[in-house]
Amino acid sequence: GPPLRSLAEARKIQIGAAVEPSLLLQEPQYAQVLAREFNLVVAENVMKWGALQTARGEYNFAAADLLLNFAQRNRQAVRGHTLVWHQQLPRWMYGSFTSAEMEAILSDHIRTVVGRYRGQIAYWDVVNEAIGDDARLRSTPFDVLPGYLEKAFRLARAADPSAKLFYNDYGAEGLGAKSDAIYALLKELRARGVPVDGVGFQVHVDSSFSPRQVRMAENLERFAQLGLEIHITEMDVLLSSTGSRAERLERQAQVYREVLQVCLRQPRCKVFTLWGFTDAHSWRGASEPLIFDVDYQPKPAYFALQRTLQQP
């Protein structure tokens, strides 16, 4: 059948995958399948703060540049991930800083990173996972700077006016306390004119996930009503541990199918991204959460996405 990227194009959405650039050089099949099937890429790790600015004021762009070049050669859009996050920060960020120092640190990082790729990055995850599982703002090294969330979005907009700016989080796919908190935060930011263009739902789930059960379509709709673009940003689905192998793969395929259907039925849902694509390389280890197997062969989940993209 046709590759996912051409089917997605016909449906006016983009289909993406998270990438480790070193594998592009090490594994020919990794690069081939990525180029063939996806029209959007996002760095799984190499554009995080800890990877880019290992020492204060010292930036390493080699791996990120490699990904940007690959994307350009293969006509793929790029998502930038991520500017403000409480994880994968370099050690030096945990020093004690005044508010003014933190403002300088934040603005130097965003100007340097977003500015370097100005015009080449379609979407930036400006803020990642700021709301905790208790539905409150997490504590981070940025806290010393009041209004750091808002400042991050404004700095990113100034550094690249053509990039769409996102808030991205997990565990907020359905209705619930955490998605309520994110909704309230984004509503408030939009009301004050802070440049937030969209919301990313990660969708790291297991095979028992049911969009209908958590009322995912209704949840996406309320964010759409705020005027936000909606992206599925990091989907993967743990294989269940019970049932025959065929049943487990089919159940996994069904979760992928149902989430893609929710996206296709929501006019503001424009991007569907997986957190990797081959079970050979996943942050979830050996749990086979992706749509190609360890030998780069398509799994039932792949064919489920392919068929769903073909249905009107």
Residues in contact with ligand G3I by CB under 6 A are 44-45, 87-88, 128, 170, 202, 234, 283
**How far apart are CB 284 and ligand G3I at their closest, in Å?**
8
**Interatomic CA distance for residues 285 and 289, integer angstroms:** 9
Q: Which one, 45 or 210, has the nearer CB to ligand G3I?
A: 45
For the chain, the C-alpha Rg in angstroms (whole number) is 19
What's the Cα-to-Cα distance from 208 to each of 4, 27, 99, 252, rounded to whole Å?
25, 33, 44, 9
**Interatomic CA distance for residues 4 and 291, integer angstroms:** 11
**How far apart are CB 182 and ligand G3I at their closest, in Å?**
14
DSSP code of residue 244: -
Q: Are 260 and 310 in contact (CB under 8 A)?
A: no
ω into residue 82 within 30 of 0, thus cis? yes
List active site positions. 129, 234
Indicate the SS3 state at residue 101: helix
**How far apart are CB 94 and ligand G3I at their closest, in Å?**
16
**How far apart are CB 242 and ligand G3I at their closest, in Å?**
24
Q: Which one, 202 or 252, has the nearer CB to ligand G3I?
A: 202
- Residue 16 pairs in a beta bridge with 40, 273
Q: Which one, 47 or 105, has the nearer CB to ligand G3I?
A: 47
Which residue is at the shortest CB distance from ligand G3I?
283
Going by C-alpha positions, the residue among 263, 258, 204 that lies closest to residue 8 is: 263
Q: Which one, 66 or 158, has the nearer CB to ligand G3I?
A: 66
**Interatomic CA distance for residues 30 and 20, integer angstroms:** 10
Going by C-alpha positions, the residue among 289, 269, 255, 217 that lies closest to residue 11 is: 269
**How far apart are CB 24 and ligand G3I at their closest, in Å?**
15
Q: Which one, 72 or 88, has the nearer CB to ligand G3I?
A: 88
Continuous segment of H or E residues that includes residue 253: helix 245-265
